[in-house]
Amino acid sequence: MKPFELFQCCSCAEAVELLSQYKNKAKIMAGGTALLNQMRQKYITPQNIIYLKNIPELNQIIWENDTLSIGAASSIRDLERNEIIQKEFNILAQAAHKLGGYQTRNLATVGGNLCNAAPSAELAPALLTLGGNLEIVGRHGKRRVLIEEFFLGPYRTVLQDDEILTEIRIPKGEARARGTYVKLGARNSMEMAIVSIAVLFALDLEKGIFQDFRLALGGVAPTPIRIKAAEEAAKNKIPSRDLIREIGQIASAQAKPKADLRASAEYRREMVKALTGRAITQTLKESGYEVEKEASH
Amino acid sequence: MKKQDNSYEIGKRRYGTDSIVKALGCADFLADIKLPQMLYGKILRSPLPHAQILNMDTSKAEQLPGVKAVITAKDTPGIRFRTYFDVPGNKLALENEKVRFVGDEIAAVAAIDEEIALEALDLIRVDYKELPAVYDPEEAMRPGAPQIHAEAANNISYYIKREFGSVEEGFKDSDYIFENRFETSAVSHGFLETVGCIAQFDLSSNLTVWLSTQNPFHLRRQLAYIANIPEARIKVKGLHIGGGFGGKTAMLPLEPICIFLARKSGKPVKIINTREEQLSTGRIRYPMTIELKTGVKKDGRLVARQARVITDNGAYDNKGASITTQGTCERFIQLYRVPNIQFEIHVVFTNKQWGDSFRGRGAPQGIFAIESQMDIIAEGLRMDPAELRLKNVNLPGEINPAGNRITSCALRECIEKVVAESGWKEKRGKRNNRGIGMACVIHTGGGAALYGRGNFSAALIRADQDGTFHLITGETDIGQGTNIMLSQIVAEVLRVPIERIKVAKADTDSMLPSLGTWGSRITYTAGNAVLAAARDLRQQLFWLASEMLGENIEKLDANEGKIFVRGQEGEKSVSVTETISEGIGKKGIPLMGKGYFEDKNVIPRDPRTGCGNPYPTWHFGCQAAEVEVDPETGKVAIVNLVAAHDLGRAINPMGAEGQIEGAVMQGTGCALFEELKWEKGRIVNPNFRDYKMPTFSDIFPIKTILVESEDPDGPFGAKGIGEAGIVPTTTAIVNAIYDAVGVRITSLPITPEKIFSALRRKACTQK
Amino acid sequence: MIQARLRINSETYDIPIEPQETLLDVLREKLGLTGTKKGCETGECGACTVLIDGKAFNSCLVLAATVQGREILTIEGIGRAEKLHPLQAAFIERGAIQCGFCTPGMIITAKSLVDEGQERSREEILESMSGNLCRCTGYIKIIEAIMSVIEKTK
């Protein structure tokens, strides 16, 4: 690795100040799992590293006023093990659990996962379904963006040179909402997703219909994406095999997968179809709803 | 030979001699060694797959502070590597005129730290003239393809056609003929410790090298040749080896490069491959394309077999020819009885990484073709695949058309045990996304008299006055546990506790001659040498004890560290330690048991016909895998695997199980995940994220069955087990997938996408 | 150059380090604690696993300068030949060690799982261990060794 100057910041203000001073010569580091690999490969050679992990407020997970605030430097493992997340935002805990290996989850951070902006960013689909928004701090103050607006393309985000991601906020959702995160890789762990799918919905038990249906995908487009057309199609409908198939088809049509060394575009498209259905069926099952009955008429 | 039921040590479950130091983290591996004044070497490699080197300028690199030596081909004697056969090859430690694959070595730097060495590499200017490149061996054979080596027309490094019996007659005599094509992938050994070297010259120009090698004497010989240094001046030091699997047998370019850097800088130099270098420029398993045509009788008897094999040799010669001939094609003759055989081999240069042996040395490729096709034949004949195999198994004492002699052989028993233990009959043929499949293996059980070096091993056991026995051989334990296994043989013969046997960790100056760790040879060859040495020492101890006890030597026996008069164990006995003291301390006789083994059954191969018998004995085995296929994704889950292996006799059952379990998981990786991929000659997955080896999450229950056929010539009946476990696994999985979903994958690895697409095609054609 | 104070295996080391130096390189090259292995340098093999304040990390991805003042534990700090850690003993006795290159990292990761004391199924242990690659054993005897220790501590 090329030498650099390391700044271990104690506050966001300090980090922003340094960032606006060094601009594109500096890189933000929290966990460093992706960054150090890029630096070792000399894909990037920053002269200054601004280290955020020691900033106390970036390491907090707070549940208050029906909003969950996750400090951007919280480790993936903090998310995975957080009781509130497990209970209220379980799909996020599921996604956190699927990221890399145990050691990586101890080191990698939620902010790093999002800011690295890989098309298959593990936490993004879950956060997209949860309606998360992000707090960004720069020299000119704070701003907030919806997670849907955060990603611009592969490994590109809306963050300006002097901005850092400080917090991920998730509003309390429908109490009965359940979700499933499904990830496909060749091995059973230590994988980058070929396809990942997050499905989140509540069932109106009286009417037996989908309420507030959310669907997001990873690994099948330049950025993680929410499939609003599929959400619309599902809304207020009775879950049936046909509907589930239709949702899968819409998702598959909306995906813009590319071939890479893990899979072809065509296979990814097919997997979106198959696994969206699987994620919905599994979520229904966990909600105590049997699709079979509905499909029989 | 009947199994001795009074074994003292043979058959005990023992952990490796160095397990404790390894668990404590104080085992010394190559990378852990640091010498005073040591420099760090880095290699400049070609960024192009095929190019002429027009000009090289190292002056800026030489001027960089901290750089102590820069070398190019000009600084080397320019001697080309010999292949493993000791015949002239074509690789130079540093290439001077042409580069032939991305990663080809052209210059190297030694500096006071790695970062400076890397910086210096960036300062070396090389002008290339890029040449058209070729990556596919079949394309490389076509007229007009880019010529990689001037002397190899059509890029063919090696061609041979062999026939035993008459395939023409055989096919005429067959009721049915089956023809299939199979492809295997490029896989990496994936040892956790990458390769490397430390080289140090002393003031009198003697060279010490620390290597991560399976084969210290071979390396000494090859290094002496390439570096033009007398062998006697080179000492190769023994270390703990972080896995080898065949990938640390031959000399690698970095080893002579390290020596040249040490010579030029006058300081010790260390080069360790990064993981990326290891995966993108290290040795690989030879990928092959196999066309197999087999004629059978209605009742399933094999009559004739014809194979056409094209091996992707990569850019340079190493073992492509020998592995394809003996490792792959001879399996077509050896696994089952086939009276008429013909094989034709093309080993072809391409602009890619070059290969080496990888556990099974060509057998996994050949067995993939044979055992996939056996299932195809069984289906064609409407036979149970197990029954078809049983119909064609070898029997002890047989000599096949190529002149290979079968000694002990429990293949029948292995198949029967697997059928019984796996629930074969109940589980097969359901086609409900769950399936079971089997595959068998034959592999050498004791090395081979290949490479013109015979097949031998030697051992010396030194008795010390404190009652310790030092075992000295020339063999290298690369983690597979041969040191404890050999210790068990010593303890068995001397009837002393295993803790009293110490295995010397030595260097080529003080070790005994050896052929190295390959070919599952140590149990059989070194086992026999150690057995002879232990018996020799036992005789010396008994001679002393007979004097001490005043009894005839014939009446003596030993147990639990004591030598006693048979029937009077309580009254008339001396301890082994006392006996040693008597010999060394009082009588002044040094006590040393000496033994060696040479395979006297070798029949040299007739170079004209290819007939001969370089193998002393054979290992047989059968595995059955049960799988579940997810038809929506094509993903395969292995439910369990039963592995029965005829290892003659299990000297250390825990070690033997470990060999099988580890090999099965490697075979699983080769089946499901592992493949190095190139784009325009560049490896695109040189890391463990994208070169996917199995993890803990991918394991499944493995039931190992150790079948003890008691080889007449093996030490206590034992044969080798190191490699065989990997050989059938991949194909058992392939056959199980077919049983589960009715699609047959003929090119490895079996990615979910391949199964998914095949299922789609099948659904399409069925409509 | 930073004058760093590192706490490793209950000892304090005051050493100069460069900001770009990883904990792995400082352990191995500066302090001679070579039990922690370098297997891939990309956080994919687990051979370099150490505990920092009880949590398992790939030391190839941790800058040494960022872990000053924290308690670092390496394989050298958990047992001696006369007093093996129960995991070390279990690995040895159950034949879970072949070449031994992955062993220190395996034992360290397993230790963090044992120490956490959280109830985990065999499947969960397998998942948690999956960042540690082994090419020799096929993992079978390693998981047996780990489970035997977990059973005992229940």
Instruction: Check whether B723 has a pLDDT greater than 70.
Output: yes
Of B672, B685, B698, the CB nearest to A261: B685
Q: What percent of chain B has pLDDT over 70?
A: 99
Do C49 and A103 lie within an 8 Å CB cutoff? yes
Q: Which of A2, A103, A104, A106 is the best mutation test for C, with the most CBs of C within 10 A? A: A103
Most confident among A174-178, A286-290, B22-26 (mean pLDDT): B22-26
The pLDDT of residue C3 is 96
Contact between residue C95 and residue C141 where contact means Cβ atoms under 8 Å apart: yes
The pLDDT of residue B603 is 86
The pLDDT of residue B655 is 98
The nearest CA of chain C is from the CA of B694 a distance in Å of: 8
- B24–chain C Cβ distance below 8 A for any pair: yes
Which residue, chain included where needed, has tokens 């001939």?
A: B325
Instruction: Check whether B1 has a pLDDT greater than 60.
Output: no
- B247–chain C Cβ distance below 8 A for any pair: no
- Which residue type sits at B500? R
Of A2, A187, A267, the CB nearest to B756: A267
Which residue, chain included where needed, has tokens 């997209």?
A: A128
Residue C2: count other Cβ atoms within 10 Å of its Cβ: 15
The pLDDT of residue B169 is 97
Strand pairing category for B207-211 and B234-237: parallel
Segment B388-416 shows an average pLDDT of 94
Q: Which residues of B touch A262 (CB under 8 A)?
A: 690
Cα–Cα distance, A203 to C88 (Å, whole number): 51
Do A107 and C61 lie within an 8 Å CB cutoff? yes
Do C92 and B23 lie within an 8 Å CB cutoff? yes
Instruction: Check whether A297 has a pLDDT greater than 70.
Output: no
pLDDT tens for C77-91 read: 999 999 999 999 999
Ramachandran area for residue B550 (φ above 0: left; ψ -120 to 50: alpha; else beta): left
The pLDDT of residue B451 is 66
Do C44 and A190 lie within an 8 Å CB cutoff? yes
Q: Which residues of B touch A192 (CB under 8 A)?
A: 689
Helical (H) or strand (E) element with C141: helix C140-153
What's the whole-number average pLDDT of chain C? 97
The pLDDT of residue A296 is 39
Q: What percent of chain B has pLDDT over 90?
A: 93
**Neighbouring subunits of B (3+ Cβ pairs under 8 A):** A, C
Q: Report the length, in residues, of chain A.
A: 297
Strand pairing category for B284-285 and B355-356: parallel
Q: How confident is the model at residue A204 (pLDDT cuts 50, 70, 90)?
A: confident
- C130–chain A Cβ distance below 8 A for any pair: yes
Residue B45 sits at the vertex; the CA angle it makes with B43 and B48, to the nearest 5 degrees, is 175
The pLDDT of residue A294 is 46
Cα–Cα distance, B305 to B171 (Å, whole number): 8
pLDDT tens for B548-577 read: 999 999 999 999 999 999 999 888 999 999
- Which residue type sits at B55? N
Instruction: Indicate the range of A86-90, B81-85, B175-179, B733-737 predicted with least confidence.
Output: B81-85
- A280–chain B Cβ distance below 8 A for any pair: no
What's the whole-number average pLDDT of chain B? 96
Tokens of B414: 């292995």
The pLDDT of residue A206 is 85
pLDDT tens for B9-48 read: 999 999 999 999 999 999 999 999 999 999 999 999 999 9
Do A107 and C57 lie within an 8 Å CB cutoff? yes
Contact between residue B81 and residue B92 where contact means Cβ atoms under 8 Å apart: yes
Contact between residue B515 and residue B447 where contact means Cβ atoms under 8 Å apart: yes
Helices (H), chain C: 23-25, 86-93, 103-116, 122-129, 140-153
Helix, strand, coil content of chain A in percent (nearest 5): 40, 25, 35
The nearest CA of chain A is from the CA of C81 a distance in Å of: 27
Segment A157-162 shows an average pLDDT of 94
Contact map slice: B 652-681 vs A, CB within 8 A: 672-673, 677
Q: How confident is the model at residue B506 (pLDDT cuts 50, 70, 90)?
A: confident
Full-model pTM:
0.97
Tokens of B31: 């990378």
3-state secondary structure of A122: coil
Which carries the bigger pLDDT value, residue B279 or residue A293?
B279
Cα–Cα distance, B723 to B443 (Å, whole number): 8
Q: How confident is the model at residue B607 (pLDDT cuts 50, 70, 90)?
A: confident
Is the torsion defined by CA of B740, B746, B749, B753 positive or negative? negative
Q: How confident is the model at residue A295 (pLDDT cuts 50, 70, 90)?
A: very low
Closest CA to B418 of B393, B447, B443, B395: B393
- B395–chain C Cβ distance below 8 A for any pair: no
Q: Cα–Cα distances in Å, from B154 out to B140, B147, B291, B526?
A: 7, 7, 20, 43
Segment B361-377 shows an average pLDDT of 98
The pLDDT of residue C117 is 83
The nearest CA of chain C is from the CA of B732 a distance in Å of: 17
Q: Based on the number of CB atoms within 10 Å of its own CB, is B203 exposed (0-12), middle (13-18) or buried (19 or more)?
A: exposed
Helical (H) or strand (E) element with C11: strand C11-17
Q: Which of A267, A273, A275, A280 is the best mutation test for B, with the most CBs of B within 10 A? A: A267
Do A189 and B696 lie within an 8 Å CB cutoff? yes
Q: Which residues of A touch C131 (CB under 8 A)?
A: 100-104, 190
The pLDDT of residue B409 is 95
Residue of C nearest to B653 (CA): C95
Q: What are phi and psi of A209, to 5 degrees?
A: -130, 160
Contact between residue A82 and residue A93 where contact means Cβ atoms under 8 Å apart: yes
- B113–chain A Cβ distance below 8 A for any pair: no
Cα–Cα distance, A130 to A70 (Å, whole number): 13
pLDDT tens for B212-271 read: 999 999 999 999 999 999 999 999 998 999 999 999 999 999 999 999 999 999 999 999
Do B661 and C140 lie within an 8 Å CB cutoff? yes
Contact between residue B441 and residue B363 where contact means Cβ atoms under 8 Å apart: yes
Q: Which residues of A touch C121 (CB under 8 A)?
A: none
pLDDT tens for A35-90 read: 999 999 999 999 999 999 999 999 999 999 999 999 999 999 999 999 999 999 99
Helical (H) or strand (E) element with B605: none
pLDDT tens for B84-131 read: 777 889 999 999 999 999 999 999 999 999 999 999 999 999 999 999
Instruction: Check whether C40 has a pLDDT greater than 90.
Output: yes
Instruction: Check whether B4 has a pLDDT greater than 60.
Output: no
The nearest CA of chain C is from the CA of B139 a distance in Å of: 34
The pLDDT of residue B73 is 97
